[in-house]
């Protein structure tokens, strides 16, 4: 829901920041992989209840995720890069609830499982429509510079990261936040299935 606005805010800073790795000879894929490796450190940090440290690695991961896109637009967007980026993004998204389940299994495990379950809905509806949109040469007027068709919804990347920040700031309320956000994800899934089906049907 908020991605179209957040992208406008961060586009110029990321475009400027991408000049440095470009001059250093780094590729967008290298930045993608580096960001994912940094994000992996959030797992042990959160599992051992070092939530501020976990938040720091989440922020690093998201900065690199934005930077790789800006760098790809300088160097040329590729299908391989888009595939790598979206795959590692979904792995990272599912890792954070898992980390909180490890931190406090008794209180968090069921809520974390429900949230990962809801991510399956948002992720599968997102990727399935992107495949069909590519086959039909359907372009998204909002996200023209993306390698995949980005179908919107109530819970997009911006909302997901805001949720992760809340998890780290209020870990004692993880379960309540996860149940609430998971429910919102299912609304997103339902609207994507409906909109996607109607679009492809016509």
Total number of domains constituting the chain: 1
- Give CA–CA dist 83/126, Å, rounded: 13
Q: Give the pair of three-digit tokens for residue 32.
A: 């993608």
Q: Which residues contact 177 (CB under 8 A, 6 or more apart)?
A: 163, 166, 167, 170
Q: Is the pLDDT of residue 154 over 70?
A: yes
Query: 72-126: per-residue pLDDT in tens?
Result: 999 998 989 999 999 999 999 999 999 999 999 999 999 999 999 999 999 999 8
- Tens digit of pLDDT for each residue in 64-84? 999 999 999 999 989 899 999
Quick count: other Cβ atoms within 10 Å of Cβ 107? 15
Give the global pTM. 0.89
Q: So what's the pLDDT on residue 144?
A: 52
From first CA to last CA, the distance across the chain in angstroms is 24
> What CATH code is carried by the domain that includes residue 52?
1.20.120.1760
Token pair of 175, please?
Answer: 């379960």
Its domain, for residue 32, covers 3-201
């Amino acid at each position: 829901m908020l991605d179209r606005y957040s992208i406008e805010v961060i586009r110029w800073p990321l475009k400027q920041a991408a000049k440095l790795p470009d001059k250093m000879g780094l590729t967008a894929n290298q930045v993608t992989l580096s960001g994912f490796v940094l994000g992996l450190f959030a797992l042990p940090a959160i599992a051992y209840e070092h939530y501020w440290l976990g938040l720091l690695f989440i922020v690093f991961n998201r900065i690199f995720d934005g930077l790789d896109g800006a760098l790809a637009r300088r160097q040329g967007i590729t299908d391989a890069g888009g595939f790598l980026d979206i795959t590692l993004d979904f792995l990272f998204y599912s890792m954070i609830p898992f980390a909180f389940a490890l931190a406090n299994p008794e209180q968090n495990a069921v809520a974390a499982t429900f949230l990962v379950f809801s991510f399956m809905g948002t992720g599968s509806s997102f990727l399935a429509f992107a495949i069909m949109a590519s086959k039909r040469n359907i372009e998204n007027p909002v996200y023209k510079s993306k390698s995949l068709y980005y179908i919107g919804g109530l819970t997009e990347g911006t909302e997901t990261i805001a949720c992760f920040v809340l998890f780290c700031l209020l870990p004692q309320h993880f379960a309540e936040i996860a149940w609430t956000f998971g429910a919102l994800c299912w609304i997103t899934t339902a609207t994507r299935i409906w909109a996607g089906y109607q679009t492809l049907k016509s």
